[in-house]
Amino acid sequence: MSLPPTVRVWDPAVRLFHWTLVPAFVIAYLSGEEVLDLHVLAGYLIGGLVGFRILWGLIGTRHARFSDFVRSPRTVREYLRSLLSGRPQHYLGHNPAGGAMVVVLLGMLALTTLSGMTLYGAKELAGPMAFLAAYPVFASDWFEGLHELCANFTLALIAAHIAAVLISSLLHGENLVRAMITGTKRSPQHE
């Protein structure tokens, strides 16, 4: 009996989440005070997407769950070493390094969104955090700088993420970008 040529890895929800997040972040990053309404809308969308992903990471399909890909730092190191040694360990879902990136990215996106909503509430007296208007510190320039720092750090992470996906794809000989679109990967070869 032959194995099916492809196997389903990423469910539609994970894929839709991922590819909606990309334009949402781009729009949020590029729009600013000049088109604040658009920026805020994109920010809310990102917040909702991140919220969904966290929930899905707890109750979703096999490879979407955090338990599938969140690994100890030692495992992450081992995986990275295996990449460099030329005999990369293969994981069907997120590899340990990718898993770590997911966690950090979700965290930074959440922080960026939260700091943004705080700023919006305190400075523009708008949005769900408008009650923070009583605390002018959240409207201060340094807090705005904090929001910008979070956004820029997230951008840096995204750059690293893209690089890592490309490197991983090369080293494992599989197209990880296509996998995130179609949801399928080539069946794993028996070791």
Partner 1 sequence: MARIHRVTALAAVSVLGIAGWVIGGDRHEREDEGRRERQRIFVDSRMTAQDPTYRAECGGCHLAYPPGLLPAASWERIMMGLGEHFGDDASLQTATAERVGRFLQANAADGNGWGRSARIARSLGGELPPLRITDTRYFRRHHEQIPPKRVLSNPEVVSYGRCDACHPAAARGDFDEHAVRIPGAGPWDD
126 binds partner 1 (CB under 8 A): yes
Shorter beta-carbon distance to partner 1: residue 64 or 119: 119
CA atoms within 13 A on the CB side of 50: 21
C-alpha distances in Å from residue 98, one per residue of 40, 56, 75, 103, 135: 29, 17, 12, 9, 39
The site string for partner 1 over 76-95 (x = CB under 8 A, - otherwise) reads: -x------------------
125 binds partner 1 (CB under 8 A): yes
Q: How far apart are CA 132 and CA 169, in angstroms?
A: 45
191 binds partner 1 (CB under 8 A): no
Token pair recorded at residue 59? 């109750």
146 binds partner 1 (CB under 8 A): no
In angstroms, what is the minimal distance from the CB of 79 to partner 1? 13
Q: How far apart are CA 179 and CA 62, in angstroms?
A: 16
Binding site for partner 1 (CB under 8 A): 32-37, 73-74, 77, 122-126, 130, 133, 136, 139-141, 144, 148-149, 151-157, 160
